[in-house]
Every structure is written in structure tokens, then in C-alpha cells.
């Protein structure tokens, strides 16, 4: 009688912990190559879109130096302005942090939902509701310092959490798809804000246009004098630490990752998929609501409070999807991606004023970066030396990386 000996593949706890925190060099390399490709394609777009530079390429074979020199000056000037506007000194760096803070918070909300296998397309609406309640607490309540700021932040977070909890409850109770529900909730939030700004409770006295009163100074986020660095950036970093703790050090976080990896197996193991869905969307909504708080209570470029208006939060909810994808739904990755896009936003203004480059080009660069990061197969094709590396598709990391 023969017996088959099965090798022991049980991994020691120490080895598992080391593997867990091992640097994913393959992903680092492909992300770096994505930046290179995005910058190259962006440079090509600059040359093609500039009429003066493109004209010199018409007689390239006669005087190639003119076309090459003009192209280099255009690309070098634009990217130099981008760097100077984002990290070229204390002022630009603080502007980058101010732009990145709401992106980090909203990106954490989207990324947390990704880890549970949910697509939170509703961060925009959650941020809008958070900004509505935070701004209302800021200009309608008159409380002592510190207490006023804490109350306004808390109310904004509660607003975003409530907006996200509705989506989680509907999915858990009726099976409604979260993508459809969150998109509809975005429209509801936009319409709600537009209507509120026509009411006497939200419209500034003496004004006919839809704009709210100014938030009290007691409720604004403190900032360093002469800079754009304010308390909101520290809050965003603390939110990232909280998400890391929630996912990696708590029982709820384990349930979130388990449901994201395989909801049927998680249910078989005794976990409540519905309860986990509601909790995940509630926390995700709270984080997105915190992004709205950043806009409502954060200082403007001039250092003055910003009134509540229809376009206050911009497109932070949709930008957050990009940030979460580029950060691979990890807290640290989301922080780095948020800083990157914050720098692109801050440097885009410098590109426009100093290098006569359209501001929309920074949006194109963001899209190109995500495009190449999300397509590792394309990166391997362009850079054959990477074919020996195992690169995981970015969309697959949402599911297969849920328990990591």
C-alpha cells in the first residue's frame, strides 16, 4: 500500500506578517512606468496642441533644430511650471496639501467600499451633504471656539454617514445595486443643495443669488499664517490612520475584507453580509462627508472662509474614484495618490499662468496616469523588460486584494 505525502505548506505567523508588509516592487515599478508614459503622452499633446510649435514641425526635414528646440522649450517650461507650482517652495507645498486633503478623505471612503466589494460612486453626494450640514453649523450656530469647530465637523461627518448608510441599507434589505443607488443619491444631493440655497435659512440676507452666509471664524479650520496648510490636512492623515486600523486591526475590518473577497464564503462562516455592507457604506459616507467638511470650513486662497454654493465641492467625489484606484484602495496609497493629484491641481494653475498651457491638460495627465496604471498588460507591452514581473490588474486588486 502506498501513501502520498503532502508537503506542509502552512505558513508561520512570522512569515505571514513579513509577507503582508513586503513592498510590492512589481506594482511600484509599473506605477513608475505609468507616470513616465503619462508624461510622455502629455508632452506629445503639448507639442501638437501648440500652433506655434506645430508650425515648426512642418519644415522639420529642412531645419530639424527649430522643431526640436521649440518642442523642448514648450515641454520643459510646462513641466517646470508644474513642479514649481506644486512643490517649488513652502507656499506651493502648502497649496498642494490644501488641495490633497479633501481628495484623501473622499478617496478613503471610495477605497474602503472597494475593499468590501462595493462601488461607492456616491462620494460626490455624500461630500455635498457633509458640506451642507458643516456650513450650516458654521454660520447658523454661534458657539465658543473649539466647541464650534468640533460641532461643525461632527455634523458634517454625520451627514455624509447618513447619506452613505441609506445606500448600504437599501442594498442589504432589497438587493438594490449600489452603483445605481449612489448615482441617484448624487442627483438628490445636488438638487437638495440647489433648493436649500433658495431658502431663507441658507441664503445670505440681502442677496438674491444662491449663496450662504459666511461661516464664523470659530468654525473654520485653523491654518498656519501666510500659508494654505490648515488643520484639515492633519485630519485627513488621521482619517487614513483610522482606516488602516479599521481594516487591519479590528474585527469589523476583517469582516469587510472577507465580504469583499467572497461574500458567499463570509456568509457561510457566520458573518452578516448585510450588516457589513451597511457599516461599510456608513463609514465610507462619513469619510466622504469629511471631504465636504474640508471645503465648507477650510480657508480660501485669500485666507477667508468660503460660503456654501452650488459648486463648492467641485468634482471631489468623482476625483476620489481615481485617487482610490491609483492608491489601490490602501490607506497609504490613497494618501500618496491624493498628494499627487493635489500637486497636479496646484501646479496646473502655474502651468496656465507661467507656461501658457491649458489647465485642462492636468486633467488629461490624471486620466493618462490612471489609464496606464490600470492596464499593466499595456505597460508590459511597451516596456518588454517588465514581462517577467507579475503585475496585478488594478481592477482585480479590488477583489483579490481584499483580504491582504
Q: Encode the chain in three state secondary structure.
A: CCCCCCCCCCCCHHHHHHHHCCCCHHHHHHHHHHHHHHHHHHHHHHHHHCHHHHHHHHHCCCCHHHHHHHHHHHHHHHHHHHHHHHHCCHHHHHHHHHHHHHHHHHHHHHHHHHHCCCCCCCHHHHHHHHHHHHHHHHHHCCCCCCHHHHHHHHHHHHHHHHHHHHHHHHHHHHCCCHHHHHHHHHHHHHHHHHHHCCCCCCCCCCCCCCCCCCCCHHHCCCECCCCCCEHHHHHHHHHHHHHHHHHHHCHHHHHHHHHHHCHHHHHHCCCCHHHHHHHHHHHHHHHHHHHHHHHHHCECCCCCECCCCCCCCCCHHHHHHHHHHHCCCCHHHHHHHHHHHHHHHHHHHHHHHHHCCCCHHHHHHHHHHHHHHCCHHHHHHHCHHHCCCCCCCHHHHHHHCCCC
What CA–CA distance (Å, rounded) separates 36 from 373?
Answer: 11
What CA–CA distance (Å, rounded) separates 240 from 383?
Answer: 33
- Determine the longest span between alpha carbons in the chain, in angstroms: 96
Which domains are assigned to the chain?
Answer: 25-400 (1.10.3470)
**Cell (9 digits) for 14:** 512570522
Length of the chain: 404
Partners of 223 in beta bridges: 230
Task: Please give the pLDDT value at position 240.
Answer: 97
Q: How far is CA 32 from CA 28, 141, 325, 373, 386, in A?
A: 6, 48, 15, 9, 12
Label residues 179-218 b or e (16+ Cβ within 10 Å = b): eebbeebbeebeeebeebbeeeebbbeeeeebbbbbbbeb
Q: Comparing C-alpha atoms, which of 121, 163, 196 is closest to residue 289?
A: 163
What CA–CA distance (Å, rounded) separates 291 from 166?
Answer: 19
The cell 474602503 sits on which residue? 112
**Cell (9 digits) for 317:** 467625489
Partners of 305 in beta bridges: 299
Task: Please give the pLDDT value at position 363.
Answer: 78
Number of C-beta neighbours around residue 240 at 10 A: 24
Task: Please give the pLDDT value at position 14.
Answer: 53
Q: Identify whether the C-beta of residue 134 lies closer than 8 Å to the C-beta of residue 296.
A: yes
pLDDT tens per residue across all 404 residues of the chain: 444 444 444 455 455 455 555 656 666 777 788 888 888 998 998 888 888 888 888 888 888 888 999 999 989 998 898 899 899 888 899 999 999 999 999 999 999 999 999 999 999 999 999 999 999 999 999 999 999 999 999 999 999 999 999 999 999 999 999 999 999 999 999 999 999 999 999 999 888 888 999 999 999 999 988 788 999 999 999 999 999 999 999 999 999 999 999 999 999 999 999 999 999 999 999 999 999 999 999 987 777 788 899 989 988 999 999 899 888 889 999 999 999 999 988 888 888 878 788 878 877 877 887 788 777 778 778 877 766 555 455 544 445 445 55
Mutual orientation of helices 316-326 and 273-297 as an angle, nearest 10°?
Answer: 120
Q: Identify whether the C-beta of residue 399 lies closer than 8 Å to the C-beta of residue 117.
A: yes
Question: What sign for the dihedral angle of Cα 273, 275, 279, 285?
Answer: positive
- This prediction has a pTM of 0.86
**Cell (9 digits) for 400:** 483579490
What CA–CA distance (Å, rounded) separates 323 from 387?
Answer: 26
Amino acid at each position: 500500500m502506498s501513501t502520498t505525502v503532502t508537503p506542509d505548506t502552512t505558513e508561520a505567523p512570522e512569515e505571514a506578517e513579513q509577507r503582508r508588509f513586503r513592498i510590492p516592487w512589481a506594482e511600484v515599478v509599473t506605477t513608475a512606468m505609468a507616470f513616465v508614459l503619462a508624461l510622455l503622452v502629455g508632452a506629445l499633446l503639448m507639442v501638437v496642441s501648440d500652433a506655434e510649435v506645430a508650425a515648426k514641425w512642418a519644415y522639420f526635414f529642412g531645419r530639424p533644430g527649430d522643431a526640436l528646440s521649440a518642442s523642448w522649450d514648450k515641454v520643459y517650461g510646462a513641466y517646470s511650471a508644474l513642479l514649481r507650482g506644486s512643490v517649488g517652495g513652502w507656499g506651493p507645498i502648502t497649496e498642494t496639501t490644501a488641495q490633497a486633503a479633501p481628495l484623501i478623505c473622499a478617496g478613503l471612503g471610495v477605497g474602503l467600499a472597494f475593499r468590501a466589494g462595493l462601488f461607492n460612486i456616491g462620494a460626490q453626494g455624500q461630500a455635498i451633504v457633509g458640506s451642507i450640514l458643516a456650513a450650516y453649523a458654521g454660520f447658523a450656530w454661534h458657539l465658543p471656539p473649539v466647541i464650534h469647530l468640533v460641532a461643525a465637523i461632527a455634523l458634517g461627518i454625520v451627514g455624509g454617514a447618513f447619506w452613505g448608510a441609506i445606500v448600504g441599507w437599501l442594498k442589504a434589505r432589497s438587493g438594490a445595486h449600489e452603483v445605481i443607488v449612489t448615482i441617484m443619491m448624487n442627483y438628490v444631493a445636488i438638487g437638495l443643495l440647489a433648493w436649500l440655497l433658495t431658502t431663507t435659512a441658507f441664503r445670505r440676507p440681502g442677496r438674491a443669488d444662491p449663496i450662504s452666509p459666511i461661516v464664523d471664524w470659530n468654525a473654520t479650520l485653523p491654518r498656519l499664517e501666510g500659508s494654505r496648510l490648515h488643520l484639515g490636512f492633519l485630519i485627513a492623515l488621521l482619517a487614513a490612520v483610522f482606516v488602516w486600523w479599521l481594516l487591519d486591526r479590528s474585527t469589523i475590518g476583517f469582516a469587510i475584507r472577507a465580504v469583499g473577497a467572497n461574500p458567499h464564503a463570509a456568509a457561510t462562516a457566520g458573518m452578516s453580509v448585510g450588516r457589513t455592507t451597511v457599516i461599510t457604506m456608513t463609514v465610507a459616507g462619513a469619510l466622504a462627508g469629511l471631504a465636504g467638511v474640508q471645503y465648507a470650513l477650510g480657508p480660501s486662497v485669500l485666507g477667508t472662509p468660503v460660503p456654501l454654493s452650488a459648486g463648492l465641492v467641485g468634482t471631489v467625489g468623482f476625483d476620489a474614484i481615481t485617487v482610490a484606484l491609483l492608491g489601490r484602495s490602501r490607506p497609504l496609497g490613497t494618501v500618496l495618490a491624493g498628494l499627487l493629484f493635489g500637486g497636479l491641481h496646484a501646479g496646473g494653475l502655474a502651468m496656465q499662468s507661467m507656461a501658457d498651457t491649458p489647465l485642462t491638460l492636468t486633467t488629461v495627465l490624471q486620466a493618462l496616469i490612471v489609464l496606464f496604471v490600470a492596464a499593466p498588460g499595456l505597460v508590459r507591452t511597451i516596456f518588454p523588460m517588465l514581462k517577467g514581473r507579475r503585475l496585478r490588474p488594478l481592477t482585480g486588486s479590488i477583489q483579490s486584494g481584499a483580504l491582504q
